[in-house]
Chain A
Amino acid sequence: EPEVTQTPSHQVTQMGQEVILRCVPISNHLYFYWYRQILGQKVEFLVSFYNNEISEKSEIFDDQFSVERPDGSNFTLKIRSTKLEDSAMYFCASSETNTGELFFGEGSRLTVL
């Protein structure tokens, strides 16, 4: 069964450092998403991406965040200067249609020290 894959599974970084989280969505999917989940809290929407541009973003997704689809397969989330409060599990998701089933990856755990 096709799946969304994310790397790294866990990254530890120092405050102020740049981090790039990578995702490989399912190959025929057209809509891509990033979510985050701070430990013990709910899953929060960050950004959606379609047709090589951001479709929608939340208030969490400020200038420190960016997304990119550098080639036909990868979808990346960059945090330019990490803060302690960026520590969370980050989930990538993709869907074939705008309203269809979301497929999530296993997540990348980011720890900012």
Chain B
Amino acid sequence: DAKTTQPNSMESNEEEPVHLPCNHSTISGTDYIHWYRQLPSQGPEYVIHGLTSNVNNRMASLAIAEDRKSSTLILHRATLRDAAVYYCILRDFSSGTYKYIFGTGTRLKVLA
């Protein structure tokens, strides 16, 4: 699977939008972009995923660059509960492999 690069940590104020970037310059045409998060002392939790178009769900929005070499997870109004490690993962649907590889992610700190 192609590699992703994320900042180690970010801070945000409560109730403000947060933009979490992910670079994936070696992405292939068959890679889905997945985002997961891990709250303290919990298992990873799915946030959102997309292929080419921007995606919205109740948790977040995913903005994908036109060349797909980067993406941004957008939390519209950060809450204290959003403090977590956020992982950007590429998932190749044509490779025949069956794994999602987690990197070190971005630790988001939300300030009250």
Contacts and interface: CB of A to CB of B under 8 A. Distances in A.
Contacts, number: 54
Contact of B97 (A35, A42, A56, A91): A56
Contact of A45 (B34, B46, B101): B101
A105 to B, nearest CB: 6
B102 A45 contact: yes
B43 A106 contact: yes
Of the four ranges (under 10, 10 to 19, 20 to 34, 35 or more), the interface on chain B belongs to 20 to 34
Given A98-B93, A99-B91, A33 B99 contact: yes
Interface string B85-111: 001000101000111111111000000
**Interface of chain B: mostly helix, strand, loop or mixed:** loop
Instruction: Provide the main secondary structure of the chain A interface.
Output: strand
Interface in A54-79: 55-56, 58
A55 B90 CA distance: 18
